[in-house]
Structure 1
Amino acid sequence: MARGLGRGLSALLNEEEGQTTGAATPPASGAREIPIELIEANPDQPRRHFAETELAELAQSIRESGVLQPILLRPSPSKPGMFEIVAGERRWRATQAAGHHAIPALVRELTDERAFEVAIIENIQREDLNAMEEAQAYQSLIGRAGYTQDKAGQVLGKSRSHVANTLRLLQLPAAVQDHVLYGRLSAGHARAILTADDQERLADQIVAKGLSVRDAEALVRARAAGPKKTSGPRKANKDADTAALEADLEDALGMGVDIVDRGGAGALTIRYDSLEQLDELCRRLTRR
């Protein structure tokens, strides 16, 4: 069932077409105008939140240039003569807002599971899902298709660690998840407070003050550390410049740092306390 998804939506559509015709064809072949009133949203759509400003901008683009890429439909499994959206709900909504009465679409015969997989890959490849929607989509895919995290990552072109770290966001309280879902908090903010004790209060404070991710990380560290402590033995026997540099790096990274200098050569050790911290360190070092 999963083959082809990791190669992208175009490859998948070629594959589906080949299964029915015996030969691969361009994915846009067979696109036709479908009346808006014959199309209904997919109840399993991974994307739950559609920003009004984005829809308005897309609607204006459609008024000026039309729909540049067909949406993907399947015959409705419960309503003869109707179609269900597999991919492209945002374009469908914007087309209605633009006042158009039909939209170019590809129609494919897809099972429920196949349609759900296609919807996830299309949204993730377009980066249309926010972090919470992405986590919910992974959870649904794993639950419905029986995939492991590693298999889900292979299918969707993501690393196992990315899938695992994204799924951890589902451990947050519902109120914090809503902040992420509606764009008030980013995935970086959510990961920063994931291991904190008072997650809801921290989230509300971050939103109210408009804190950056780095500021949020510093806030979490300060709350976890409690009152400021004096330098311990490790800092006491370092020269002032080295100790200050260690402190600056610890504040920037939110992780323990130890510098051993021997006349201009030495070692820098960074200690992490969780996989989330390791993932964040790798992201910074590779600038992703």
Structure 2
Amino acid sequence: MADNKKRLGKGLSALFGEAAGEPVVAQGPGAATPATSTPAPRTLPIASLQPGKFQPRRRFDEEALQALIGSIREQGVVQPLLVRPIEGGKYEIVAGERRWRAAQAIPLHEVPVVIRELDDRAALEIGLVENIQRADLTPLEEAEAYRRLIEEFGHTQEALSQAVGKSRSHIANTLRLLYLPGGVKALVEDGKLTAGHARAVLTSPDPEALATKAVNEGLSVREVERLAQSAKAPANGKGSTGAKPRPVAKIAGGAKDPDTLNLEKHLSEILGLAVDIQFDGKGGSLTIAYDNLEQLDDLTHRLQNLAISA
């Protein structure tokens, strides 16, 4: 696993081996013949390839695909597909499905490939990183990819940021999109709501209503943030804008016992956030309050690292 992480940190060229540094071209109709001959990976019939079962992309933008078709028609397939052998003499695409789809549309009969013996785990990891680094994913697809890399491969957010070339705050903010209600997720997937707007509505008591308002009225991210904050104000009171914990709310029906108050104080000092514990028979609830998105990001990061190390 350590070796896989090192390879990811080197970028996509490491996934294809040294041959990826050479220009490899499968000629399409009208494509010019290269002026110099270069060592090329082997070519395979398009019919012998099939999409990877770990492909993180759920949508292929038609406009972008048409642009790629035009490029391949003129220049050929410049970068080989990464594939792995499977049963029946077939090959599964690990990276490069869009190129395969475009080549079919031209149509080409063969495409250049680099063949690697990869297990399911490696195939999934490479497919996710390849799409993330190429910015081919929607915000929610990217968030799901990060989640799988963290949960299935044990990446921390810090290690993941180095592997895919994104900041840790970007990864933390993107992961928060997974908590959106279904209706808001649909708006993001359809391109009607940006990731910035989606993160802003997350803090609202009614994310779907605010998301719909943002789309219908063309609100900016800052306007959405202000509306989300004002919607919380009546319930939360004036509150604090700093990192110091707010006073713990009183519980109706009597004061809390000293042990509970001490535990709340201890947790608040550790987290730097207000903590509220309520008992209900044998169970109960623990509430951690935050004042801004930075505090939420920090808390999420700490909890995820704690779960990974457990």
Task: Provide the TM-score with structure 1 as the length reference.
Answer: 0.69
Query: Is the partner of 2:44 in helix, strand or coil?
Result: strand
The equivalent residue for 1:162 is 170
- Structure 1 CA distance, aligned partners of 2:91 and 2:131? 19
Change in Cα spacing, 1:160 to 1:278, as seen in structure 2 (3 Å) is: closer
Report the number of matched residues: 223
Residue equivalent to 1:273: 292
The one-character-per-residue Cα deviations of 1:106-127 (angstroms, maximum 9, x if unpaired) are 1111111111111122112211
SS in 1 for 2:219: coil
Question: For residue 129 of structure 1, what is the amino acid of its counterpart?
Answer: L
Distance 1:102 1:25 in 2: 18
- How is 1:237-276 mapped onto 2 (pairs within 5 angstroms)? 273-275=292-294
**Counterpart-to-counterpart distance in 2, 1:65 and 1:109:** 29
Shift in alpha-carbon separation, 1:182–1:33, aligned structure 2, 3 A:
farther
Residue of 162, 185, 188 corresponding to 2:193: 185
Q: Aligned runs of 1:77-88 on 2, under 5 Å?
A: 79-88=87-96
Task: Write the mapping of 1:51-90 to structure 2, written as runs, cut at 5 A.
Answer: 51-76=61-86, 79-90=87-98
1:13 and 1:56 map into 2 onto residues whose CA distance is: 25
Amino acid at match of 1:151: A
TM-score by length of 2: 0.64
- Taking the aligned partners of 2:134 and 2:228, their CA distance within structure 1 comes to 32
C-alpha separation in 2, matches of 1:12 and 1:86: 10
| Secondary structure in 1 matching 2:6 | coil
Structure 1: any 5+ residue segments left out of the alignment?
15-23, 227-271, 280-288
1:196 to 1:107, Cα distance in 2 relative to 1, 3 A: same
How far is the alpha carbon of 1:274 from its aligned partner? 2.6
Counterpart AA for 1:128: D
Q: Which residue of 2 aligns with 1:40?
A: 50
What is the deviation of 1:146? 2.7
Please list the CA deviations of residues 212-261 of structure 1 after superposition, one character each: whole Å capped at 9, or x if unmatched. 333433443454457xxxxxxxxxxxxxxxxxxxxxxxxxxxxxxxxxxx
Once the two structures are superposed, the pairs formed by residues 1-288 of structure 1 within 5 Å of their partners are 1=1, 2-14=5-17, 26=20, 28=22, 30-76=40-86, 79-225=87-233, 273-275=292-294
Tell me which amino acid in the other structure corresponds to 1:72: L
The answer to whether the 8 Å contact 1:34/1:103 transfers is yes
Report the alpha carbon displacement of residue 82 of structure 1 after superposing the two structures with TM. 0.8
Structure 2: where are the runs of 5+ without partners?
Answer: 23-38, 235-290, 299-310
* CA RMSD in angstroms, aligned pairs only: 2.5
User: CA 1:160–1:68 in structure 2 vs 1: closer, same or farther (change >3 Å)?
Assistant: same
Q: Is the 2:20–2:79 contact (alpha carbons within 8 Å) kept by the matching residues of 1? A: no
Q: Give yes or no for contact 1:40–1:85 (8 Å, CA) kept in 2.
A: yes
Give % identity: 50
Separation of aligned partners in 2, 1:205 and 1:98: 43
